[in-house]
């Protein structure tokens, strides 16, 4: 089962571009990077309100800010929270519709706050050392459950003072455990009042803050996801050996009684079993499972299973008719629902809990990313997007299934020249049908042949879909404006095309992926759409690996960019934080089968490399560690290929701050402008310092 796998001076940089061909100024990269996005909708229990998160770009503080917005029936959405130099996330409704709780890092650590939806100031309801990972309201009372790490800061400090700083591989983690807290609104100390000293009640006038109660404890396991029973008396939770990333392989499901703290194991099998969801009557639990698979769960479908909450009987499979990963489970009085992908679309499915059969329930939007149901299951909020839109928050009922947008993020791009995007198909070298997304400029002329920019997604179980704007580190929209076609191939291994398709690059990584990319290029050439003397390729993560493979195995591209890419599978295997990924896809360790590691590694054919290659990598990348970048860089230098390595200081696998993301985007623009358009001196960026502009984080008033 695939379970995962994101401080400067106060100045404003204004960039202008001058193009030798069009003379028309391109939209500033910052405009695309500054687009707000809406996500994580949470509908109120009575279905009348929707809370959701909005992410905006704070250039002044060089960060992305997340705040909570609120939609009320008949009114325009408005910003509900504002956390200075921090974010507010994870909105959760109380059972009585009166309170919205959320996480905020107002003092450097995530704590739970709550605010009346009728108005007023937010109240902090937890003060937990080390912060909180996640939380959930009880469905019956003002009580929350949450997980936090069992840290012992005193022991950590003692060790540091005596022995200095060191780390033992695979042993540096804090187990996470489950706590509950009864919430008493308006009982917190105000500025003019004093709390009880050391929680003493000697002073009758002091205020005793409610204290959380620990439900689970011990070093032998860690708690991940959890779910309240409908009656608020029990919690089903995902239990795994440690809090480490790969410990999900060992996940099982346990149920604990909140009052007595007695617990029993519900599911205890090899492999992953987790994300438990209760039935509305509390009699059943549905969950995700790898079915005991620990050797191919990175690329094979997981299972959806139903089991009696008392543990009687065998688990029953559901949604077996969906040949894809099923996730985002909800079980309401109106039915069971989940999400799954079909090619470049992602649908909301209704699953019959008795027969296990499934069907789609909405035609629109094309891609649904998150669901939230009212208490009676009759109203639904969702996050979704269609080909010409930015992601929006929608609301509908489960009788008509006609979503209506309550947000309006798409208005941000009304004046942008976004061109068009469409899904195309071609046949790969081995006869496999491959799809991809082809982007064309606004003034597309079918009589012209255009430069081609191939942008390859990560994963490998990622997916590219039609979209109006792309804004990571590749300036796709600016290339379209400049006069290029952009192809984003869904190579073998991509999600959305079934388990068999995802398995096609097992022991064939790089090789089969290159077939798919190059056959797509050939298809466009056969249609006389592209200038084959002006082609470029690029990608991040798995897309960076495929780009590196292209750099050493074909001479057809004028330039390539490798973002956080694997250059040698043995180097990757011994450095990464997900060793099983390599063992599963190559079905061996480097010591068992060095030939397959050589066959699929870009470095094997470094002597044949001739394509100018830009390499971009995060300094602290644990997923694809930076030795991969240094190895490719040195190899290209040794064989005389023009190359440049840019290391983004302090970053991991992704570039998650706006200024560095802007830099990475500009580095790609500059590199390909040099080799594809041959006018590096004409398209220079001029940075000018101006007075600080309005913080993008501030709401309009």
Task: Grade residue 207 by pLDDT with cuts at 50, 70 and 90.
Answer: low
Inside any domain, residue 30: no
User: What average pLDDT does the segment 91-113 reach?
Assistant: 94
Q: Which residues contact 258 (CB under 8 A, 6 or more apart)?
A: 145, 180, 215, 232, 233, 234, 235
CATH of residue 437: 3.40.50.1820
- Of the pLDDT bands very low, low, confident and very high (cuts 50, 70, 90), residue 157 is confident
Average pLDDT value for the chain? 90
Higher pLDDT residue, 12 or 475? 475
Per-residue pLDDT band for 690 (boundaries 50, 70, 90) equals: very low
Percent of the chain past pLDDT 70, that is, above it, reads: 90
Q: Is 565 domain-assigned? A: yes
Q: Answer for the pair 472, 661: CB distance below 8 angstroms, yes or no.
A: yes
- Residues 499-509, mean pLDDT to the nearest whole number: 96
Residue 8 is predicted with a pLDDT of 21
Pairing of strands 433-440, 450-456: unpaired
pLDDT at 118: 84
pLDDT (0 to 100) of residue 653:
97
CB 279 within 8 A of CB 301: no
What's the pLDDT tens digit per position in 625-635? 999 999 999 99
What is the number of structural domains in the chain? 1
In a domain, 38, yes or no: no
Predicted pLDDT of residue 24: 36
Residue 144 phi/psi, 5-degree rounding, is -120, 150
pLDDT at 610 over 80: yes
Asked if residue 123 has pLDDT above 50, the reply is: yes
- Tell me the mean pLDDT in the region 386-400: 95
Q: Could you tell me if residue 180 is inside a domain? A: no
Q: What is the mean pLDDT of residues 544-563?
A: 98
Residue 396 token pair: 């509908």
Residue spans of beta strands (DSSP E) within 294-366: 303-308, 316-318, 326-332, 335-342, 345-351, 358-360
- The tokens of 447 are what? 């009589």
- Window from 196-200, 220-224, 235-239, 336-340 with minimum mean pLDDT: 196-200
Residue with tokens 């549905």: 286
Q: What is the pLDDT of residue 158?
A: 85
Q: Is the pLDDT reported for residue 234 higher than 70?
A: yes
Helix (H, G, I), strand (E, B) or coil at 48: coil
- Torsion 211-214-219-225 (CA) sign: negative
pLDDT tens figures, 283-334: 999 999 999 999 999 999 999 999 999 999 999 999 999 999 999 999 999 9
Predicted model pTM: 0.91
Indicate the pLDDT class of residue 417, thresholds 50, 70 and 90.
confident
Does residue 557 have a pLDDT over 90?
A: yes
Per-residue pLDDT tens digits for 72-86: 998 999 999 999 889
* Average pLDDT estimate for 127-139: 94
Q: What is the mean pLDDT of residues 580-607?
A: 97
Note the pLDDT of residue 169: 87
Does residue 660 surpass a pLDDT of 70?
yes
In which domain, by residue range, is 541 found? 417-683
Query: Helix 542-553 and helix 627-638: axis angle, to 10°?
Result: 10
C-alpha span between 321 and 213 (Å, rounded):
43
pLDDT of residue 680: 52
Structure tokens at 177: 């455990």
**415 confidence band (pLDDT: 50, 70, 90):** confident
The answer, yes or no, to whether residue 120 has pLDDT greater than 80, is: yes
Minimum mean pLDDT range among 89-98, 117-126, 183-192, 259-268: 183-192
Q: What is the pLDDT confidence band of residue 191, given thresholds at 50, 70 and 90?
A: very low
pLDDT given at position 201: 52
Structure tokens given for 612: 């100018």
Out of 187-191, 612-616, 691-695, the most confident range is 612-616
In a domain, 635, yes or no: yes
* The pair of three-digit structure tokens given for residue 329, joined into one six-digit string: 């489970």
Asked if residue 512 belongs to a domain, the reply is yes
**493 domain-assigned:** yes
pLDDT tier at 461, thresholds 50, 70, 90? very high
Q: Which of the four pLDDT bands, split at 50, 70 and 90, describes residue 167?
A: confident
**Residue 436 within a domain:** yes
Give the SS3 label for residue 571: helix
386 or 685: which leads in pLDDT: 386
Sheet holding 63-72, edge to edge: 37-43, 49-58, 63-72, 78-79
pLDDT score recorded for residue 566:
98
Weakest-pLDDT range from 20-29, 148-157, 238-247, 660-669: 20-29
> Quick one: which of 35, 30, 19, 33 has its CA closest to 479?
19
Q: Is the pLDDT of residue 693 over 50?
A: no
What is the C-alpha to C-alpha distance for residues 340 and 338, in angstroms, rounded to an integer? 7
């Amino acid at each position: 089962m695939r379970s995962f796998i994101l401080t400067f001076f106060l100045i404003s940089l204004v960039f202008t571009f001058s193009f030798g061909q069009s003379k028309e100024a391109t939209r500033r990269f910052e405009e695309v990077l500054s687009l707000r996005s809406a996500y994580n909708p949470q509908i109120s229990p009575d279905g009348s309100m929707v809370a959701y998160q909005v992410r905006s770009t704070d250039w002044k503080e060089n960060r992305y800010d997340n705040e909570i917005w609120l939609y009320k029936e008949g009114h325009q959405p408005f910003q509900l929270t504002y956390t200075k130099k921090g974010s507010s996330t994870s909105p959760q409704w109380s059972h009585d519709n009166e309170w919205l709780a959320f996480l905020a890092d107002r003092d450097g650590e995530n704590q739970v706050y709550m605010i009346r939806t009728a108005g007023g100031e937010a109240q902090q309801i937890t003060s937990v050392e080390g912060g909180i990972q996640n939380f959930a309201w009880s469905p019956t009372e003002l009580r929350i459950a949450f997980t936090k790490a069992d840290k012992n800061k005193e022991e950590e400090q003692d060790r540091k003072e005596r022995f200095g700083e060191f780390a033992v591989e695979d042993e540096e983690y804090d187990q996470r455990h489950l706590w509950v807290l009864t919430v008493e609104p308006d009982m917190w100390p105000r500025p003019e009042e004093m709390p009880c000293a050391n929680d003493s009640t000697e002073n009758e006038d002091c205020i005793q803050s409610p204290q959380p109660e620990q439900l689970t404890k011990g070093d032998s396991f860690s708690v991940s996801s959890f779910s309240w029973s409908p009656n608020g008396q029990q919690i089903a939770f995902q239990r795994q050996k440690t809090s480490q990333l790969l410990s999900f392989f060992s996940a099982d499901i346990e149920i604990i009684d909140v009052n007595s703290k007695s617990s029993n194991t519900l599911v205890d099998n090899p492999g992953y079993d987790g994300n438990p969801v209760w039935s509305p009557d509390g009699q059943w639990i549905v969950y995700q499972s790898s079915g005991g698979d620990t050797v191919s769960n990175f690329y094979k479908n997981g299972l959806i299973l139903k089991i009696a909450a008392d543990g009687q009987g065998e688990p029953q499979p559901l949604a077996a008719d969906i040949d894809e990963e099923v996730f985002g489970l909800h079980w309401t009085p109106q039915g069971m629902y989940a999400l799954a992908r079909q090619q470049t679309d992602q649908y909301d499915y209704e699953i019959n809990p008795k027969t296990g059969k499934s069907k789609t329930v909405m035609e629109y939007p094309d891609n649904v990313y998150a669901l939230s149901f009212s208490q009676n299951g009759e109203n639904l909020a969702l996050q979704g997007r269609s080909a010409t839109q930015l992601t929006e928050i929608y609301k509908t009922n489960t009788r008509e299934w006609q979503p209506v947008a309550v947000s309006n993020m798409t208005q941000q791009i009304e004046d942008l020249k976004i061109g068009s995007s469409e899904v195309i198909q071609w046949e790969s070298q081995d006869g496999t049908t491959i799809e991809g997304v082809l982007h064309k400029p606004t003034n597309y002329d079918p009589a012209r042949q255009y430069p081609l920019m191939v942008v390859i997604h990560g994963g490998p179980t990622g997916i590219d879909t039609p979209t109006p704007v792309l804004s990571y580190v590749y300036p796709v929209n600016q290339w379209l404006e400049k006069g290029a076609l952009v192809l984003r191939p869904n190579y073998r291994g991509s999600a959305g095309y079934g388990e068999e398709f995802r398995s096609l690059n097992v022991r064939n990584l790089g090789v089969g992926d290159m077939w798919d990319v190059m056959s797509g290029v050939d298809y466009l050439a056969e249609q006389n759409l592209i200038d084959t003397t002006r082609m470029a390729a690029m990608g991040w993560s798995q897309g960076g690996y495929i780009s590196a493979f292209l750099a050493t195995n074909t001479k057809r591209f004028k330039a390539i960019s490798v973002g956080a890419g694997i250059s040698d599978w043995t180097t990757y295997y011994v450095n990464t934080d997900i060793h099983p990924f390599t063992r599963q896809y190559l079905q061996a360790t480097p010591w068992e089968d060095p030939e397959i590691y050589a066959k699929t590694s870009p470095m094997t054919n470094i002597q044949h490399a001739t394509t100018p290659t830009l390499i971009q990598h995060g300094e602290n990348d644990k997923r694809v560690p930076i030795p991969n970048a240094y190895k490719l860089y040195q190899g290209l230098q040794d064989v005389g290929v023009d190359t440049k390595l840019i290391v983004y200081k302090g970053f991991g696998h992704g570039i998650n701050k706006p200024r560095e993301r802007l830099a990475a985007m500009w580095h790609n623009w500059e590199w390909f402008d040099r080799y594809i358009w041959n006018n590096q001196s004409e398209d220079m960026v001029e940075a000018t310092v101006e007075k600080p502009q309005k913080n993008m984080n501030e709401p309009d008033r």
